[in-house]
Amino acid sequence: MNLLKKYFLPTSYVENIKAITPERLKNMGVNTVMTDLDNTLVAFDEPDADNEVVEWFSNLKENGINVMILSNGKSGRVGTFCEPNGFQYICSARKPLSKNFRRAVKEMNADIENTVMVGDQLMTDIFGANRVNMKSILVIPVKDKDGLATILNRRMERMIMRYFNKRGLLSKED
């Protein structure tokens, strides 16, 4: 079961992106953030960034923290969300494969050691980050409902989360 910890245990676990402040990130030694889009920033069926998301990106950037969206979503979905706000992004990322995690770090002129992946899924976001030795922050999904591709992942995640919770390995932080 050490493989479960190695691959699926996030560095941190919080309610939502509001808990991810520049101070928290700096305390983690982070100056670069990669974030998932669907059910991390907004509901998977929400086409636009809300004020909360735009303010979060602005606050991070004002504090010298680079941000990029790394999404498995298709270009139409991700581009429509990102481009009006000037958000950097990589779509069709094929997480948890490591290629686009590394590409994003390179595009942002960052170091993996100082980068964190923020996401709502253990099977894609956290697993992918852990595979490249990147810090990770798990957030609770914005919406209970998921797209079809995510439903199976959620079942597996619930089993892994129960394992972590039983052993006191994972607790939500403020």
Contact between 27 and 19 (Cβ < 8 Å): no
State the DSSP H helix or E strand holding residue 33, giving kind and residue range, or none if neither.
Answer: strand 32-35
The secondary structure of 56-113 as a DSSP string is: HHHHHHHTT-EEEEE-SS-HHHHHHHHGGGT-EEE-S--TTSSHHHHHHHHHTT--GG
Q: Give the integer Cα–Cα distance in Å for 159 and 116.
A: 24
What's the pLDDT score for residue 110?
97
Per-residue model confidence (pLDDT) at position 49: 94
Residue 1: per-residue pLDDT: 55
Predicted pLDDT at 147: 64
Tell me the three state secondary structure of residue 140: coil
pTM over 0.85: yes
User: Other C-beta atoms within 10 Å of 56: how many?
Assistant: 21
Q: What pLDDT, on the 0 to 100 scale, is given for residue 173?
A: 84
In angstroms, rounded to a whole number, what is the distance separating the alpha carbons of residues 18 and 53?
9
Taking the chain (174 residues) in runs of 10, the rounded mean pLDDT of each run is: 89 97 97 97 91 97 98 95 97 97 97 98 97 97 75 86 92 81
Fold designation for 2-166: Rossmann fold (3.40.50)
Residue 66 has what pLDDT?
97
CB 84 within 8 A of CB 114: no
The pLDDT of residue 93: 97
Asked whether the beta carbons of 31 and 110 are under 8 A apart, the reply is yes
